[in-house]
Structures are given as C-alpha cells and as structure tokens.
Amino acid sequence: MAPPNNQKRVKGTQVYRPFVYGTIAKPFNDETNPKPPGTPADHTHSWTVFVKGVDDGDITYWCKKVQFKLHESIQNHLRMVDDVPPGGTFEVHETGWGEFEITIKLYYVPESLEKPQTLYHHLRLHPYGETEEEKEKMKQRGEVPAVVYEEQLFNEPYENFYEILTSPAPVGKGGKTKVLKGGMVSSVGERTALIPLTNRPGSEFSLETENMLLEEIRRAIAETKKLSDNLAKENQEAETYLAKLRAEIAAA
Amino acid sequence: MSSHDVRDMLDLPGDAPRPAKKQKIAAPRPVLKGLAREVQNLSGDNPIAIVPEVTVFKKRRFATRKPAAKWELKPFKNSARNGDSLILRHWRRKTEAPPAPVAEDGNGEPAAAQPPPEIDDSTFAKYNVRVQTPKYNDEQYNTKLRSDDWSREETDYLMDLVEEYDLRWPVIWDRYEYELPIPQMDVDAAEGAIVPAQKVRSMEDMKARYYFIAATMMKLNKPPELMNAAEFSLLELMHQFNPAQEVARKRFAEAAFHRTKEEAREEESLLLELKRILARSERLTEERRELYARLEAPPSQGAIGVYSSSQGLQQLLQQLMTADKTKKRRSLMASDGISPAGPSGQHQQGNFERRDSINRESISGPSASNNKKGPSQGISERRQLTADEEKMYGVKHLDRITSSGPAFRHEKITKPITSKSSIQQQKIANVLTELRISQRLRMPTEEVGKQFEILLQNINVLLDQRKLADKLAGEINIAKAVKAEKEKKERAERGEPEPGDEDGEGGAGACLGDGEIKMEDGGREKSAAPSIRASSVHKRSASVMSGVSDKSTKRQKK
C-alpha cells in the first residue's frame, strides 16, 4: 500500500516491541502424545510454530496476521493465521518427520502502513545442543523447544501508528467482552515494551537473562582485548627482530 | 466644483437651471460622509459607489464629561489588633456626601483622632477568625476528660496553644514546651503529677488528646441524636483518629519522599509484575471455570443428548432445513455464524466448533473496532510522553535513523557481520565460538546490541593483529632464507666447509642462529605463558603458529 500524503512519519523516533517466535516439537508416543487418527504412518513428531508476545503480552495491536510458509511437501503449505484475540498467539500445529526452515512473515496492522517483514526459523524436531548433556536434558523433557527472542523495531512509525503504540490499551465495552469470551484480562494486554524482571518456567526471556547475556558479552570483550594486546606485543617483537635481520643482510 | 461648472467653463451645452440642481445635491451629501466635497462633486449626478470607511482610532476620552474622581486619605483601624490604638491611613475614593471633612483630613492626626465613630474598620479585619476550641470546666474535666497520660495542666496548656495557633498542628507541635509543674499536689492534678519525667509529645499524641476532648465536649453539649449531618460526620471523624496509623502513614510518606529514582523505578516495575501475575492467575481461574463448565453438561442445551447420535443429528439438520425454508432465507445467510441455527451442512459437525466460531467473531469484532478507534484519538497533536512512559512503550529518540520502517533487532545487530565477505564472516564466527558466544544472541535487546558492537570491534582488531602476525612471520622466514643463502654463497666463495665453522663470520652467523632460536623460544614462552591462564589463548597461539608455518612453506614453494 502506498502511503497516503496526509500521513507523516515521526522523525528520529524508534519504537520497539519484544516478542518471541519459534517451534516446539514433541515426539509421538502412546502415553503422553498419542498419534491423532489420520496422521501418516511416517510422521514421528507433532510440532507447533508460533509468534507471540513475551510473557503472553499482547502483540495483536501491531501485528495483524502471520503467514507461516511450511515445507512444500506439506499440504496447504502457506498458512495464514489471522484474527487472534488480544494477547493470543499466532500458531500453526502440524505433524511431520523432518526438519526444515519455516518462513514467518509478519503483517502489520493497517494503520502502520508498513510492508510485511520476514523471519526465518529452523524447525527442530530432534534434541540439539552443543554438548551431549544438553541433548540428553532436552530428551528428558519430552519436547524440543526452539524459541528465540526478537525485538520488532519500528523506525520512524507513521503518526497514527505511533499513537497506537504509545497509548494504553483501550478499555471499555470492547475490553469487557474480551474478558468474558477469551478469558483475557486487559492488563495482560497492556501495550508495553517492558520485559519481565525474572525468569519463570516457561518464559526464560527476562531482564535476568538479558543481564546474563550482557555479562557474557562483557567477558568476551575483555578476553578479546587481552588477546589482541598480547598479540600486539608479539607483533612488535617480531617486527624488531625482522628489522634486525634485514639490517644484518644489508651489512653482509 | 460640480460638473456643471466644468461644462460652464468649457461652454458645453446641456445647461440646466441651477437652482433646481442645488436642491438635488443637498440630498445625497449627508449620506456620503467623510469624502472630500470636491471628490464627491466630480461624479456629478451619478452617486459614488465607493464610500471610504471612517476609521476611528481612539474614542474620545472625555466623552462622559465627568469630573475627575476625588480621593481622600482616610484613617482606619483594625479591630483584629486586639484593642491596639494604632491608626493608619489609606487612600479611598471620596464619597460624595460630606464635602466638609476634606479640610480636616488634610490636617492628619488630630482630625483622625477626633472623630471616633467615623473611623472604619479595616477591610481585612473580617479575616481575623478565631477557631472555636472546646471549653470545659472542672467538673466536666473530672468526670469525662481525665486521662492517665495527660495532666489537667498539660491539657490546659495544650488547649491554650491550640487556640493561640488556630489548630495549626505543625506550629503547635513546634511551640509545645510544657514543663512539669514543681510537684504541687493538687487534688485533680495528683494523678498527672505522678508522671515522672518530661514527656516528648508527638503531634499525633497532641492530636489524639485534642480530638478526644473536642469530641467529648461536642457530645456533652449536644447529644449525637440532635446533631446535623455535618456535625455528626465531624464527630465520627474525630472518633476515628488513630495515632498509630497516622504515624505509620507519615513514616511511609517520608520514605516515599526519600526513595531514589532507581527504587521508584523498581517499585514501578514490581507493581507491573504484580499486575501481570494477578492477571495471569485471573485468567487461569477463568480458563479453569470455563473448563469445568465444559466438563459438566451444558445447562442451557439440555436437549443436546438427543442430537448426539448420527440419527439425531440428521433429524436436527432436517429441522433446521425446514426452519430455513420457512423463514426468509437471506436473513439466515447474512448472519451466518452468529445465528444459532447454522443452515449449511458443515455446521453439523459439532457444537463446540460452532461455539468457537462465535467466540472468534465476537472477539475479533471489538479488536477491529479498537484498531479503528486508535488513530482518531489524536492525529494532530502528538502527546508528550514522560521518560517512564517512553521506557514503558519502548520509545527511543535517535539522532540518525538510516531507514524508516519495520526491522528486527537481531538482524540489525548482526548486520556488521553479515555485510562482510564470507571468509571474514567465517573468521568472526570462529572467534565467537572460541569465546563461547552464540551467533544467535539469546536476547537481542538494545543494550545487548551496544555491547555486541564493542565486541565486534574488538574482534576486528584481533583479526587485524593476526593478519599482521602472519605477514611478519612470513617476512621473517624470507629474510632468514635470504640470509642463509648469502652466508652459504660467501662460504662457497671462500671455499670453506659448510657446517661447524670456527671462522669469525661463521661464528657470528652461528651466534645469530642461536639468538634467533632463543628469540623464537622467547616468543614461544611468551605465548605459552598466557596459555596457562586461558585455554583459548593457547588454541589461538597454536593456530597462529600453524598458520605461520603453513604460510612460510607456501612462500618458500613459490
């Protein structure tokens, strides 16, 4: 959609919203995850691909619909998920036997006047990890999550959209029916960019995790600094030695 | 000058009798006011279309022609100054009636002192309002107001203070300096006098005492049954005074005042967290209730058992079809999902499905309307957000935004890597794995992005250093080879045997060779030293070495 002339972008402003996306796969077994009738015999896992807010926050006020592009061998491989209640999850459930890359296309609300954006996510069915230990742990859990945190940046959003992004969720009649029908409480749907302070089982994306990551990166920065300092010293020595060698050659 | 005059001068015909015209001209003239007579006359018989507007710049000042108002210096006293004889004067608009006092006033003090009834009270005297404090006599005090904590003297002292400072409690508290009387064993003060040390009364103590007395006296003077609403609520209020709670409130307020910005922010985020948790639990109970409702037989649809079999369903379908036919078809088709009797065949699948679809529709309805409502709220004036709000809504003001539109943070953070060549990318990736940093950052937040940028810069520096190290190592090898070649040649020229030479120059060469080995050893030692500290350093130095040797062999081959 071409932006109409009467709309202006809010200059020099960036608004961000955290969200998570990814897949969760479960192998079929008779007790906890029986094969639903009608699944092909060679399917080994049931899995879900989703896009949702951090800690069940609302994202529907900026994300209108999500298209999941699955592997072409899957019937009806373009799945458009639409009409998600506030605070809900855009998700697709499937069964299958193989891993592949899912293309996730986010469509923004019409007020944003923005083009859809694409994310890529690798569907994980089998336990993964850098060490065997991690893999084993995942196997014990009975499900293979591959969930990542992402932040949606709106660079210089249009004024209308900026207004939506920076006002609290409207309450009133609409909000009330929401509570009744979807079991959704308006305050969960608060339009905030804040992330929870601490980790909870089921949602490990919080300030705590961020701080841990920051700690790691700072350590890495210190390490690289040390390495390059050492290397710089060695290089200097090597240079003086080379100069000496050359002087000798010239003299001889 | 009129047109007739012009004609007259030019001897033009068409003269009309003059007197008649004079009458005509006389008529329009008053209408066209403000135009020069000469200009007006130019038009002749035709009326002038343009009439200049007369601009009035200023109203005339003395339009009313009233004489200037007269003022006089009048003395006044202030009754609020308890019987003080001070008399001040101020300027007042002179009243019309008595012309005589003007002269007297000019004299000043004697005149002011002379007519006592004439002096008015200050206009501000009416603001001198005293509060009414409860008064009690001995009997009342002894029967109703006695307290273990407060002596009669101290109570009196408090009451005096309250009256003096008009119930301004902070002032009363500040001025409160009650000293115990030297033990004079009065009958009624006996009990109070036992209190040994001087007590420090808090404001709440004083208030509690005062309110107790005031309430008691109020009740004594007027039974509560006869009080009007305002009085009664006042009484209630005084009864409800709770000093402990008041102290706690003040302490809390003070703490809230002294808290730091960080604490305030933390408190805020904690509150948000709490809200979230509460909402979550609420939702959980809601869901649970829904589940229970589903588990039980749906109350409203008691007859659903009939339709559970396929036969029953068929029957239902038949019913619906007939209903559909009898009713107007269009009305049903239009309200497809919402209508309880979904006419099409797909709807017979089950009740749940249909209910879901109803839900979905009713949910999506309001959200869509919300979206529409949003922009209309304020297009023209953008709200100014506070710093906290900006944090909450994730609003950042950046000096330079390269491209507007949506983007993903992780993509942006890793852009410095992905924009490089694949070889360079691989190198950076290797370093990152050495540092045990995953290439897919777990939480690509803004702060993480900033730190990661620094890390990438460091990595680039490191890679440059490694490149330089490789280059130097190669050059050293070449230089060594050249030198060895030269020495060989020199030896060959002199016809000396190759190894184990005791010649001065050969010795020097050997020495140099030794030195070189030492150097290399030194270098190795140096690189080995940090390898004890960190395994990655060791790995790296090893890889550098291997890289060096690889390159040197390659160059030698060339």
Domain boundaries, chain A: 14-182, 206-252
- Say which residue, B534 or A194, is predicted with more confidence: A194
Distance from C-alpha of A22 to C-alpha of A143, rounded to nearest angstrom: 13
Of B1 and B235, more confident: B235
For position A10, what pLDDT does the model report? 82
Length of chain A: 252
Q: Count how many pairs of residues, chain A against chain B, have C-beta atoms within 8 Å.
A: 287
What mean pLDDT is predicted for residues B456-460? 89
Query: Can you name the CATH fold of B143-255?
Result: Arc Repressor Mutant, subunit A (1.10.10)
Could you tell me the pLDDT band of residue B545, with boundaries at 50, 70 and 90? very low
Instruction: Please state the rounded mean pLDDT for residues B184-198.
Output: 49
Taking an 8 Å cut-off on Cβ atoms, the answer to whether B526 and A197 are in contact is: no
Q: Are A121 and A23 in contact (CB under 8 A)?
A: yes
Residue B108: which region, alpha, beta or left (left: phi > 0; alpha: psi -120 to 50)? left
Q: Is the pLDDT of residue A238 over 60?
A: yes
pLDDT at A160 over 70: yes
Partners of A14 on chain B (C-beta within 8 Å) are 395-398, 401
Q: Is the pLDDT of residue A184 over 50?
A: no
Write the single-letter amino acid at B437: I
Q: What is the pLDDT of residues A18-33, one digit of tens each?
A: 899 999 998 888 777 8
- How many Å lie between the alpha carbon of A30 and the closest alpha carbon of chain B? 24
- With an 8 Å Cβ cutoff, is A24 touching chain B? no
Q: How confident is the model at residue B499 (pLDDT cuts 50, 70, 90)?
A: low
* pLDDT recorded at residue A118: 92
Choose the weakest-confidence range: A126-140, B101-115, B286-300. Answer: B101-115
- Which residues make Cβ contacts (< 8 Å) with residue B310, sequence separation at least 6? none
First to last CA, chain A: 77
Whether residue B540 has pLDDT greater than 50: no
Check whether A7 has a pLDDT greater than 80.
no
- Residue B276's nearest CA partner among A5, A216, A206, A236 is A206
pLDDT digit string, tens, across residues B336-383: 444 444 444 444 444 444 444 444 444 443 433 344 333 333 334 455
pLDDT at B374 (0 to 100): 38
What are the b/e assignments for B223-255, b being 16+ CB within 10 Å?
eeeebeeeeeeebeebeeeebeeeeeeeeeeee
Residues of B in contact with A194 (CB under 8 A): 269, 272, 391-392, 394
Q: Is the pLDDT of residue B54 over 60?
A: yes
DSSP B490-531: HHHHHT--SSS--SHHHHHHHHHHHHHHHHHHHHHHHHHHHH
Q: Which of B551, B458, B524 is nearest to A238 (CA)?
A: B524
Torsional sign, CA B88, B92, B97, B98: positive
Does the distance separating the beta carbons of B445 and A151 come in below 8 Å?
A: yes
CB-based contact B458 A237, cutoff 8 Å: no
Q: Are A144 and A127 in contact (CB under 8 A)?
A: yes
* pLDDT score recorded for residue A4: 52
- Tens-place pLDDT, residues B308-334: 677 777 888 888 888 777 765 544 444
Contact criterion met (CB below 8 Å) for A87 and A60 = yes
A82 or B192: which carries more pLDDT confidence?
A82
In percent, the amount of chain B with pLDDT more than 70 equals 60
Does residue B542 have a pLDDT over 60? Answer: no
Q: Which of A154-163, B104-113, B495-504 has the highest mean pLDDT?
A: A154-163
- Which residue ranges make up each domain of chain B? 3-42, 71-127, 143-255, 309-327+336-365, 422-495+517-557
The three state secondary structure string of B468-485 is HHHHHHHHHHHHHHHHHH
CB B4 within 8 A of CB B16: yes
For chain B, the average pLDDT equals 70
Residue A26 contacts residue A142 (beta carbons within 8 Å): yes
Distance to chain A for B496, nearest Cα, Å? 17
- Asked if pLDDT for residue A191 goes beyond 80, the answer is no
Question: Given pLDDT bands bounded at 50, 70 and 90, which one contains residue B181?
Answer: low
Return d(Cα A15, Cα A152) in angstroms, integer: 8
pLDDT band, residue A92 (cuts 50/70/90): very high
Mean pLDDT of chain A: 81
User: Looking at residues B467-488, what average pLDDT do you find?
Assistant: 89
Decide the pairing of beta strands B88-93 and A101-108.
unpaired
Closest CA to B154 of B215, B238, B204, B210: B210
SS3 for chain A, per residue? CCCCCCCCECCCEEEEEEEEEEEEEEECECCCECCCCCCCCCCCEEEEEEEEEHHHCCCCCCEEEEEEECCCCCCCCEEEECCCCCCCCEEEEEEECCCCEEEEEEEECHHHCCCCEEEEEECCCCCCCCCHHHHHHHHHHCCEEEEEEEEEEEECCEHHHHHHHCCCCCCCHHHHHHHHHHCCCCCCCCCCCCCCCCCECCECCCHHHHHHHHHHHHHHHHHHHHHHHHHHHHHHHHHHHHHHHHHHHHHC
Considering B9-18, B371-380, B450-459, the range whose residues carry the highest mean pLDDT is B450-459
A155/B369 touch (CB, cutoff 8 Å), yes or no? no
Contact A200, B281 (CB under 8 A): no
pLDDT at res. B58: 65
Position B274 scores a pLDDT of: 93
Lowest mean pLDDT among A219-233, B240-254, B285-299: B285-299
Nearest-Cα residue of chain B relative to residue A116? B406
pTM value > 0.90: no
Consecutive H or E run containing B76: strand B71-77
Q: Cα(B438)–Cα(B386) distance, rounded to whole angstroms?
A: 36
Per the listing, tokens 């396929």 go with B310
Residue B391 touches partner A, C-beta closer than 8 Å: yes
- What part of A 173-192 touches B (C-beta under 8 Å)? 173-175, 177-179, 181-185, 187-188, 190-192
pLDDT in tens, B206-253: 889 899 898 888 888 888 777 888 888 888 888 888 889 999 999 999
- Closest in A108, A197, A214 to B448, CB measured: A214
Query: How far apart are the C-alpha atoms of B361 and B354, rounded to whole Å?
Result: 11
Angle between helices B422-434 and B535-557 (to 10 degrees): 150
Phi, psi (rounded to 5 degrees) for B168: -85, 100
Note the pLDDT tens digit of each residue in B113-170. Answer: 444 446 777 788 888 888 888 888 888 888 888 888 888 888 888 888 888 888 899 9
Cα–Cα distance for residue pair A122/B28, rounded to 1 Å? 97
CA distance linking residue B457 with residue A116, whole number of Å: 32
Instruction: Estimate the crossing angle of helix B351-376 against helix A173-182, to 10 degrees.
Output: 150
CA distance A77 to A102: 10
Residue B131 CB burial class (10 angstroms; 0-12, 13-18, ≥19)? exposed
- CA A96 to chain B, closest CA, distance in angstroms equals 25
Residue with the bigger pLDDT between B126 and A6: it is B126
The domain at A14-182 falls in which architecture?
Sandwich (2.60)
- Across residues B485-493, what is the average pLDDT? 85
Average pLDDT over residues A66-73: 91
A178 vs chain B: nearest CA distance in angstroms?
6
- pLDDT band at B31; cut points 50, 70, 90: low
